[in-house]
Amino acid sequence: MKKWKKVKTIETHNYDGYYRVEKDEVITPGGKPGQFSVVRKLPFSVIIPIDADGNVYMVRQHRYNLDRISLELPSGCTDGQNSLFAAKRELEEETSLVSSDWKELGWFDEGIGMLDMKGYVFIAHDVKKIDNPRKDPLDKDVFKIEKYSVNQIKKMIAKNAIADGATISAFSIAFFQGELDDYEKK
């Protein structure tokens, strides 16, 4: 299979170090010259936080770019740290939960047609609420924390009540690996 070939980057816009957009001059797989723009972002971590009773904690928030409310797993960019460190930080900041039982399940590509962004999936077992968690000042009053059974989540994904791609990808990886089998029976 023939690949796209980058001739050169002709334009770059940086946005607060959070992401950048590059416009490249390219040769298409068919051999024709063209342009292609790519959004480049830091990798991010997605966490499936599950307590001893089998409840999965999710965040409900307004997504400005879509102008709608979304139900999602906690997640966030690595900010240059390793993905597990970022996962632990994001879980605490978004949900006030911590865990000492973490497992990395894998990764997926987000927005593969225009993004250069990898999502790492973690499951955090036996999560517990803590007092005085780390909080990102930008996240104040952003999230509503809700808990659901694994079976409820499967039904919500099937009915499009959960539409976030990262959440669906993370659950798919966990389901296909059998990581949630014991919790489906609860």
Q: 31-87: per-residue pLDDT in tens?
A: 999 999 999 998 999 999 999 999 999 999 999 889 999 999 999 998 888 999 999
Q: What percent of the chain has pLDDT over 70?
A: 96
**Other residues' Cβ atoms within 10 Å of the Cβ of residue 52:** 9
The CB density around residue 172, as the number of other CB atoms within 10 Å, is: 14
Strands 118-125 vs 44-50: parallel, antiparallel or unpaired: parallel
pTM: 0.91
- Whether the pLDDT of residue 137 is over 70: the answer is no
Q: Which domains does the chain have, with CATH numbers?
A: 5-41 (no CATH), 44-184 (3.90.79.10)
**Centroid of chain to Cα 100:** 21
